[in-house]
């Protein structure tokens, strides 16, 4: 159930990023649309909503951490899937609820599912660096 909730959160982050994060910074509108369009179960919604709330409230810190961990890569050069997965993983690392290794593994699995094997490798390296910067690994 938690993996499905994470997948739903990635779908929201992806839609938010592509459809105009700069013109409509509210994640809630995109989340409501995904919940409705995909008939997301309440339990999944609750878990995903918690992660999305962290992203919404700490997006600048999250993006700064991603930029620091991706030397020579501007955030805008990353693919939308990679940005979504990295934002999700970073937010989960910030909460400290889920063990860092689990967050990284789940993020890698989702990057492979929604992206490519290369996406998964990239996400693994970046989240590992972020976790080390946070002192959680």
- Give the count of domains, the chain: 1
Provide the CATH number for the domain around residue 81. 1.10.940.10
In tens, the pLDDT along 40-67 reads 999 999 999 999 999 999 999 999 999 9
- Assessment of whether the complete model's pTM goes beyond 0.85: yes
DSSP 77: G
Q: Is residue 13 pLDDT above 60, yes or no?
A: yes
User: Interhelix angle for 80-95 vs 42-69, to 10°?
Assistant: 100
Q: What is the DSSP letter of 75?
A: G
Chain segment 81-115, per-residue pLDDT in tens = 999 999 999 999 999 999 999 999 999 999 999 99
Distances (CA, A) of 21 to 29, 39, 56, 109: 11, 23, 11, 25
Structural domain for 83, as ranges: 2-134
């Amino acid at each position: 159930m938690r993996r499905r909730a994470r997948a739903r959160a990635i779908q929201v982050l992806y839609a938010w990023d592509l459809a105009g994060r700069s013109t409509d910074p509210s994640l809630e509108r995109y989340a409501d649309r995904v919940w409705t369009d995909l008939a997301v179960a309440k339990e999944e919604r609750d878990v995903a909503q918690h992660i999305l709330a962290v992203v919404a409230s700490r997006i600048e810190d999250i993006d700064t951490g991603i930029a620091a961990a991706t030397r020579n890569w501007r955030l805008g050069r990353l693919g939308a899937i990679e940005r979504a997965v990295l934002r999700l993983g970073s937010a989960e690392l910030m909460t400290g609820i889920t063990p860092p290794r689990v967050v990284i593994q789940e993020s890698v699995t989702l990057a492979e599912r929604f992206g490519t094997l290369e996406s998964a490798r990239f996400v693994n390296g970046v989240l590992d660096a972020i976790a080390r910067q946070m002192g959680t690994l």
